Amino acid sequence: MDEEDADDSPRILSKDFLSEPDKRLLNWKRFNPERVPTGMRFVGASLNRQLPVRLGVPEVAFLGRSNVGKSSLLNKLSASARSSATDQARVGKTPGATASVNLYALENAKGKHILGWVDLPGFGYAKLSKDTKESVQQAAETYLGKRKELMLGILLVDIRREPSNDDRAVLAALFDMGVPIVVVATKVDKVSNTGREQALETIRVGLGLPEGQPLCVSSTTGEGTRDLWKIILEACEVGIGQFKRKYDKDAAMEQEQEEQEMATMDGEQEGEVFSDGEDLVYSQGFDWVHASGVVYEGDDDNYRDAEGDGEEEDWQSDKDGEDDEEPPMVEAQRETLKSLKRKVRDMQRRGEI
């Protein structure tokens, strides 16, 4: 047997029953955005409790106040020269224009999906009706709480503004949901070099971030986009690894459960031992009768004790006096019953039962 054949690692039993998006997610591979020409295509929008269609690739969610520059950053990261104007992320002329959860597919030159961008609705001063705000908020919470493809949440903050209560609330919500987070300061090209350090410190303290955060990014000059890509791809790799480990663990548990069920079924079929607490053993046969010391002498009416009592007793049929012959099957059943009764009485006389 080859070493490969001797591998005793858990066998994946349920892979054939995985959904196609799950299979694609398990097989996702990291790519180099500087070498792989990419383009972006709008997939669809969702509201309320509806989730976007599953592409089977890792997804990155972009969050932030209205007019913070989410759409511009999406287009910059996607190198969207191949994308049509309708496929580019929608740059809102009116703050709060994004009123749904928008999913975009990042595609390679062959049109294969390699990553998903999710533009979540802006918060803060969005010009939306109360009902629309509630619907949008529900859609965002549903996506963030239930989307297995979500590998990273990117919270965007305008470097020229102090963090708001909404920024802090979103950051806390992502943390509570267990979503990996990176904070990005946008529009850094709009502040002077002397004012940048103080602005970044204000954001870091306001959001309680560790040293070195937030990351500076400019959609205009491209500053920081390479570093952001590294963070995105590393987060995707870690997330896919966790997904694989969870899948392998579930598959191993499924295999163990199936083996236990099979062992139980085999035991039932073979007449496994049953204990009532007194070390008594029963089986599906009648070996317990023969083990009692009763010896069969040749016909159903003749049994003797194994110790040589030789006592015999005839049992009358319940149909004495009737001349009609019984059907062979009924007669055989009656004879078997008579035989068992004699055995029981013999055992009773000897005090065995």
| 167 touches 207 (CB < 8 A) | yes
Distinct helix (H) and strand (E) counts, the chain: 8, 9
φ, ψ at 150 (rounded to 5°): -70, 115
Q: With 70 as the cut, is the pLDDT of residue 90 above it?
A: no
Confidence of residue 338 (pLDDT cuts 50, 70, 90): confident
**15-251, what's its fold?**
Rossmann fold (3.40.50)
Q: Tell me: the pLDDT tens digits for 280-332?
A: 443 444 344 444 444 444 444 444 444 444 444 444 444 454 455 556 666 66
Confidence of residue 129 (pLDDT cuts 50, 70, 90): confident
Q: What is the pLDDT of residue 293?
A: 47
- 226-236 b/e (C-beta count within 10 Å ≥ 16 → b): eebeebbbebb
What is the domain partition of the chain in residue ranges?
A: 15-251, 287-349
Q: How far is CA 43 from CA 52, 83, 97, 119, 240, in A?
A: 8, 13, 18, 11, 22
Q: Write down the pTM of the prediction.
A: 0.66
Place of tokens 């511009």: 72
Confidence of residue 235 (pLDDT cuts 50, 70, 90): very high
- DSSP label at residue 43: E
Burial class (CB in 10 A: 0-12, 13-18, 19+), 60: buried
- pLDDT, mean over the chain: 76
Q: Tell me: the pLDDT tens digits for 178-224?
A: 999 999 999 999 999 889 999 999 999 999 999 989 999 999 999 99
Beta-bridge partner residues of 227: none
Query: 238 or 277: whose pLDDT is higher?
Result: 238
Q: What is the pLDDT of residue 342?
A: 78
Place of tokens 């269609």: 53
Confidence of residue 30 (pLDDT cuts 50, 70, 90): very high
d(Cα 158, Cα 195) in Å, to the nearest integer? Answer: 14
Q: Tell me: the pLDDT tens digits for 117-128?
A: 999 987 754 566
Q: Determine if residue 50 is left, alpha or beta; phi over 0 gives left, psi from -120 to 50 gives alpha, anything else beta.
A: beta
